[in-house]
Amino acid sequence: MRRLFSRRLFAVLLSAFLLLGFAPAAKADVAGLTPCSESARFQQRAATAKTDQAKARFAMYSQSVCGADGLPHLIVDGRWNHAGDFMLPGIAFLYIAGCIGWAGRNYLRAIRGDKDATMKEIQIDLPLAFKSTLAAATWPLAAFGELTSGKLLEPDDKVTVSPR
């Protein structure tokens, strides 16, 4: 009985301390990185900048985090305050790669029925390729539309599987 009371008292006191903020804030650094503005090695590198372009670059990188070498490092741990380091460029890459793939897919589907389809794969029909590229700008919406309508995927009986 006494043990149960002491556990409950400990839990209540711990909750009160945490609720009232008596616990110190934890400041965990990321893989031993420090803000570049506080890194001595980064400041040495910045001091050697001669051109205005280099000085502007060091001013921009001073808001990043640096390693012991004084060079900025990317943080890819999913935190939103580091979204500009990797997530936003990654999404831009996926969008651009998707545009290229969707434009190629549209072009190949457009020439599929032509009698000289093989030649149009070798010598690109530029007006058609330009239309396909412009139409590919909305590829995420088009892909979702085709997925929901069933046009994007082939049925299993039409997919060739090698015998094993």
* pLDDT average, residue stretch 108-130: 94
Q: CATH 1.10.8.110 residue ranges in the chain?
A: 87-153
Distance CA 48, CA 41 (A): 11
Classify domain 87-153 by CATH architecture: Orthogonal Bundle (1.10)
Instruction: Give percent above pLDDT 90 in the chain.
Output: 52
| Rounded CA separation 96/86 (Å) | 15
Tens digits of residue pLDDT in 4-51: 666 776 676 667 666 666 545 444 466 788 899 999 999 999 999 999
pLDDT digits (tens, 9 = 90+) for 82-118: 778 788 888 999 999 999 999 999 999 999 989 999 9
Which amino acid, 94?
L
Q: Where are the alpha helices (DSSP H) in the chain?
A: 2-20, 40-47, 52-61, 87-111, 117-122, 126-135, 139-149
What is the spatial distance between Cα 61 and Cα 9, in angstroms, rounded to a whole number?
49
